[in-house]
């Protein structure tokens, strides 16, 4: 009886280790995939990373900011327009 119980515990332990390894592998591969994808995404000439704000501030004039704010207001107005029947 003890041998069977020991074998059962060993099988359960092996299954849990395999499941943990699968979850860790999936998390690592997803993280690597996101890092590789983010390296190729750009906003204009600025890459989307931690240096986005200084890059945009350096390369785009003040009129860009005004146009961006105007587009945000327009988009907000379109989203939250009151439609009355």
Structure tokens at 63: 């009129």
Same domain assignment for residues 52 and 29:
no
pLDDT recorded at residue 37: 62
* φ and ψ of 43, to 5 deg: -110, 95
Cβ contact 52:43 at 8 Å: yes
| Distance from C-alpha of 18 to C-alpha of 16, rounded to nearest angstrom | 5
- Structural domain total, the chain: 2
Is residue 54 domain-shared with residue 82, that is, in the same domain? yes
Q: Which domain holds residue 11?
A: 1-39
Q: What is the largest CA-CA distance in the chain?
A: 80
pLDDT at 20: 86
pLDDT by residue, tens only, the chain of 85 residues: 788 888 888 888 888 888 888 888 877 777 766 666 656 777 777 877 788 788 888 888 888 888 888 999 998 888 887 765 4
Partners of residue 43 on adjacent β-strands: 46
């Amino acid at each position: 009886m003890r041998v069977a119980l020991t074998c059962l515990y060993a099988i359960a332990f092996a299954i849990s280790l395999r499941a943990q390894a699968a979850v860790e592998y999936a998390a690592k591969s997803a993280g690597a995939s996101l890092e590789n994808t983010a390296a190729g995404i750009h906003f204009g000439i600025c890459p989307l990373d931690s240096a986005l704000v200084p890059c945009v501030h350096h390369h785009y004039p003040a009129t860009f900011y005004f146009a961006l704010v105007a587009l945000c207001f327009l988009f907000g107005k379109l989203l939250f327009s009151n439609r009355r029947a």
